[in-house]
Amino acid sequence: MDTRVKRLSRVNDFVVKFANVNGSGSASANGLFARSILRMGVPVAARNIFPSNIQGLPTWYEVRVVEAGWRGRRGGVDLMVAMNPQTWDRDVAEIESGGYLFHDSTKPLPPSKFREDVNVLGVPLTAIGNATYTDPRQRQLFKNIIYLGALSALLGIEPAEIERLFAEQYKGKEALLDSNRKALALGREHALEHFDCPIGLRVERRDAVGDRIFIDGNDAAALGAVYGGATVAAWYPITPSSSLAESFAKWCRKFRTDKATGERRYAVMQAEDELASIGMVIGAAWNGARAFTATSGPGISLMQEFLGLAYFAEIPAVIFDVQRGSPSTGMPTRTQQADLVSCAYASHGDTKHVLLLPEDPGECFEFGALAFDLADRLQTPIFVMMDLDIGMQDWLCAPLAWDDARRMDRGKVMTAHDLDAGRDFGRYLDVDGDGIPYRTYPGTHAAKGSYFTRGTTKDRYARYTEEGPAYVDNVQRLLRKFETARALVPKPVVQPAAQPTNAGVIWFGSTGAAMAEALNELEHQDVHLDRLRVRAFPFDEAIVDFVAAHEHVFVVEQNRDAQLKMLLVNECGIDPAKLTSVLHYDGTPITERFITREIGEKARLYNVTPLPGNRHQVTGNRKAGGRAA
């Protein structure tokens, strides 16, 4: 390493990016890298950036070591592990000045391939592997573990933690355990011998992770569906949602299979397309089971007709939409929050749907379970709006929690007992004034309570009619029901700035990860913003009040057309001039640096300044979230 080059020096606060070839077995080694740092008590934010491909295309894994606990991307790379010749030039260009470039030095590269302001760490990985292994597959796989060993020495990661992870992973497979240990040692020894270890970037043991768990949103949402009592899952494979349905099957095998008989208290059906998957969900829910589907944007497009039926015929359904780059096939393996409008108003005609907007895997679990109560209570589709960044990346979250006293809310269901007691049953009769009618499950009673479900117009007793007044009566009731939904969905999270201010910021979903850090950074720059995180549609009145209480409100979201702003203006009658959009939509997760820069510039333009202390101050109802510590 050239000692004249500036060397970044950071402890527990840097970004490592692995540039790999898809299908080369790197994912396992990279995951071990991230988890070993967590085991040293230091938080990480890790993201897999992968192509729509099985083998051969470039893939990256970014690990942000961040003792402060921020969960978003910072932007920039301090150490590039450049294992992919295809992307070498752009990978090298991405390194911060004074940063580090780790590469396989078996084959010498011309000086023009390097940068003068970057420290080079060359390890002859291929040569070491070839000298040790004869099997080509082993040479490839252990090359990954050899670089993991070298990095552990270079960054001061305790090898004992990696070995413990090996032991957990290869329990009962002693041969694999030994060969992994050996490869790790090969890399470590080489690095210790040839470099001054550790380099400027270092991991030091802390106790900053606590009891937090490392989980991806699809896994957490699937677990939420299990706890929410879902028994029927119908789905069609689509990135980035497929692992949600597969995870549901995994958790059900564990928790819902009778130990003695092998009988399953669930059914998972891989449908022929998304039309069939939502059709099955609607059929199952009509028949009294809790049912869901998991999909992404193209699936939502295909489900439109059925979603209108479920809205109009008032059938519960839960749809997990793991959003990806769009429109059309878009960027299947990239993230966006661009299905908001198409879900809020899905299907032809006057329709409105309930959306839940989780910010992390923890809320995917929470809202995943809640969605089934809401669907039964409101007898309508409930969308859980995730995205690829939440769904497919492991996030550090508070442990998942469950109250054993909680019971499923099956909503308004009339039983045979109710019918025998002489209760008047009108399937679309608003008995309680909340717009929600009673339903019966098929097969309830030999003589009473049956009705005909249809997508055509009907009267309060489910009889077919094309009479205008009956139609108006019915759709007005649906609006009343939507008002009831407003009171049942999760409230927004409001938090005041450290100082009174005339400006605020609104966001939702995965944006929260980078937002928490950006707000902290902006505060250092003396830009103070009151915060509101939207957690559901229909919007709570508190959102209107929040906008009214500020001169300028930034709306940060990850789509081109400012869809949250669109909904706010449309649904709440907010003056669009009060809302300034900050939009990030290139398919990568929004970063702290992006938000800080965009809001910082605009705030200066709007002259956002701290106010004298006597101004009405926004009061928070709980922590703004984002930083789970």
Partner 1 sequence: MTYLAKPKVHHPDLPKNALGFTRRDYEGAISTLCAGCGHDSISAGIIQAFYELDIAPHRVAKLSGIGCSSKTPTYFLGNSHGFNSVHGRMPSVLTGAALANRDLIYLGVSGDGDSASIGLGQFAHVLRRGVNMVYVVENNGVYGLTKGQFSATADKGSKSKRGAVNNDQPIDLVLLALALGASFVARAFSGDKAQLVPLLKAAIAHRGAAFIDVVSPCVAFNNHAGSTKSYDYVREHNEAVNRLDFMPVRAPLTADYPEGDVRDIVLHDGGTLRLRKVDADYDASDKVAAMAYLESRRMAGEVVTGLLYVDPVADEMHAALETARAPLNALHDADLVPGSAALAAVNASLR
Q: Which is nearer to partner 1, 275 or 569 (CB)?
A: 275
Are 341 and 569 a contacting pair, CB within 8 Å? no
Sole binder of partner 1 in the list 399, 487, 498, 607 (CB under 8 A) = 399
Does 440 interact with partner 1 (rule: CB under 8 A)? yes
> How far, in Å, CA of 597 to CA of 448, rounded?
65
Positions in 80-139 near partner 1 (CB under 8 A): none
Stretch that binds partner 1, among 22-30, 85-93, 208-216, 336-344 (CB under 8 A): 208-216
Range 378-397, binding partner 1 (CB under 8 A): none
By CB under 8 A, is residue 514 in contact with partner 1? no
Q: How far is the CB of 387 from partner 1 (least distance, A)?
A: 21
Query: Which region, judged by CB under 8 A, interacts with partner 1, from 109-117, 281-289, 320-328, 557-565?
Result: 281-289
Specify the residue, 231 or 501, whose C-beta has the smaller distance to partner 1.
231
CB 359 within 8 A of CB 508: yes
- Phi/psi at 543 (5° precision): -70, -40
- Select the span of 66-74, 139-147, 272-280, 586-594 touching partner 1 (CB under 8 A): 272-280
For 302, the 3-state DSSP assignment is helix
Task: Return the bridge partners of 193, or none.
Answer: none
Q: Which of 175, 260, 421, 447 touches partner 1 (CB under 8 A)? A: 447
Residues, the chain: 629
Minimum CB separation of residue 165 from partner 1 in Å reads 11
Decide: 626 and 515 in contact? Cβ < 8 Å.
yes
DSSP tag of 92:
H
For residue 117, give both structure tokens. Answer: 């302001």
Smaller CB separation from partner 1, 151 or 249: 249
CA 454 to chain centre: 35
Among 68, 167, 176, 408, binds partner 1 (CB under 8 A): 408
Place of tokens 């990568």: 588
Among 277, 495, 558, 596, interactor with partner 1 by CB under 8 A: 277
Identity (one letter) of the amino acid at 168? E
Residue in 135, 174, 193, 404 binding partner 1, rule: CB under 8 A: 404
Q: Which is nearer to partner 1, 230 or 513 (CB)?
A: 230
Contact 406, 372 (CB under 8 A): no
Q: Which of 11, 267, 470, 572 binds partner 1 (CB under 8 A)?
A: 267
| CA–CA dist 276, 251 (Å, integer) | 24
Separation CA 383–CA 157 (nearest Å) = 42
Per CB under 8 A, the list member of 112, 263, 469, 619 interacting with partner 1 is 263
**Cβ 234 to partner 1, closest distance in Å?**
6
Rounded Cα gap, residues 370 and 356, in angstroms: 9
Rounded to a whole number of angstroms, the minimum distance from the CB of residue 443 to partner 1 is 5
| 213 binding partner 1? (CB under 8 A) | yes
Question: Quick one: 445 exposed, middle or buried, by C-beta within 10 A (0-12, 13-18, 19+)?
Answer: middle
Q: Which range in 7-15, 154-162, 264-272, 615-623 contacts partner 1 by CB under 8 A? A: 264-272
Shortest approach of partner 1 to residue 476 CB, angstroms? 23
Told to check if 283 binds partner 1 by CB under 8 A, we report yes
CA within 13 Å, CB half, 529: 35
Q: Does 281 bind partner 1 (CB under 8 A)?
A: yes
Residues 6+ apart with CB under 8 A from 127: 106
- Kindly state the number of chain residues that form the binding site for partner 1, as judged by CB under 8 A: 71
Which DSSP state fits 509? Answer: T
